[in-house]
């Protein structure tokens, strides 16, 4: 595969997010720093940088299947992407966004439980993919990414690192759900087996 396995950027990404969370009272209270560290351990393999955007997209991507984060940015003069490049390109919000995807990735069992819970409330059979909060695949094959990208951005916003240009509408929906159910419940939705907040999905479905 094209790209560089970039250990330095991976470490910088982890340090940045842990620092932000350590300074954030509500994040620490709802998730706990040990939960965050455990999820990073379990859900992040490698960070691959220096992938030309034309290959797979812009910005970054968290890949559920191999647990890698791909960053479509390259270093100066064909060199490996460095921390300085990241600062220069104002890409810290991008790194935070992709790591939040990894942290909030649900396992198979959690996805199945969530899917059952959705059925209980909405009588709609959905397949829930391993991802932040959820990617919901409807019977007709359409993918509801609202809770995935919107929730990720919303969480980044709580950490002061929301990329204001991405998924604007989806993020706004999550802000509206927050108004309806409160910050704590919205946050708990991302954490393991808190399915009470499944009712919030009706805002998005
Ligand atoms: Zn994303």
Extract the runs of DSSP E, i.e. beta strands, from the chain.
4-5, 47-49, 60-62, 69-71, 127-129, 135-137, 143-144
CA of 23 from ligand 1 middle (Å) equals 23
Global model pTM greater than 0.75: yes
Give the neighbor-by-neighbor strand order of the sheet with 127-129. Answer: 127-129, 135-137, 143-144
CA of 169 from ligand 1 middle (Å) equals 13
Q: What is the pLDDT of residue 6?
A: 97
Residue carrying the six token digits 């809770």? 147
Residue 194, CB-side half-sphere exposure with 13 Å CA sphere: 15
Instruction: Please state the domain extents for the chain.
Output: 4-103, 108-203
Q: What is the pLDDT of residue 197?
A: 58
Q: DSSP of 108-162, one letter per residue? A: HHHHHHHHHHHHHHH----EEESSBS-EEE-TTS-EE-IIIIIHHHHHHHHTT--
CA of 98 from ligand 1 middle (Å) equals 6
CA of 91 from ligand 1 middle (Å) equals 14
Between the alpha carbon of residue 59 and those of residues 5, 23, 37, 49, 51, the distances in Å are 17, 26, 24, 11, 10
12 C-beta neighbours (distance < 10 Å), count: 18
CA of 113 from ligand 1 middle (Å) equals 23
pLDDT tens digits in sequence order for the chain, 205 residues long: 579 999 999 999 999 999 999 999 999 999 999 999 999 999 999 999 998 777 666 789 888 788 999 999 999 888 999 999 999 999 999 999 999 989 988 777 777 777 787 777 767 666 665 555 455 555 554 444 556 788 889 999 999 998 777 788 778 888 888 888 888 888 887 775 666 556 555 544 4
**Residue 40 and residue 14 in contact, taking contact as beta carbons nearer than 8 Å:** yes
CA of 117 from ligand 1 middle (Å) equals 24
Residues with CB under 5 A from ligand 1 (ion): 149
């Amino acid at each position: 595969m094209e790209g560089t396995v970039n250990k330095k950027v991976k470490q910088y990404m982890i340090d940045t997010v842990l620092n932000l969370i350590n300074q954030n009272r509500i994040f620490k209270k709802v998730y706990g720093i040990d939960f965050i560290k455990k999820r990073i351990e379990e859900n992040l393999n490698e960070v691959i940088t220096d992938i030309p955007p034309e290959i797979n997209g812009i910005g970054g991507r968290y890949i559920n299947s191999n647990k890698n984060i791909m960053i479509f940015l390259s270093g100066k003069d064909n060199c490996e992407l460095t921390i300085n490049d990241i600062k220069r390109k104002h890409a810290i919000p991008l790194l935070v966004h992709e790591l939040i995807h990894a942290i909030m990735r649900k396992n198979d069992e959690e996805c199945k439980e969530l899917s059952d819970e959705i059925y209980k409330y909405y009588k709609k059979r959905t397949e829930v993919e391993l991802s932040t909060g959820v990617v919901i695949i409807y019977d007709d094959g359409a993918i509801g990414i609202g809770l995935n990208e919107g929730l990720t951005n919303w969480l980044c916003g709580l950490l002061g690192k929301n990329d204001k240009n991405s998924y604007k509408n989806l993020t706004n929906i999550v802000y509206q759900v927050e108004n309806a159910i409160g910050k704590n419940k919205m946050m708990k939705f991302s954490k393991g087996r808190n399915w009470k907040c499944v009712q919030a999905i009706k805002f998005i479905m």
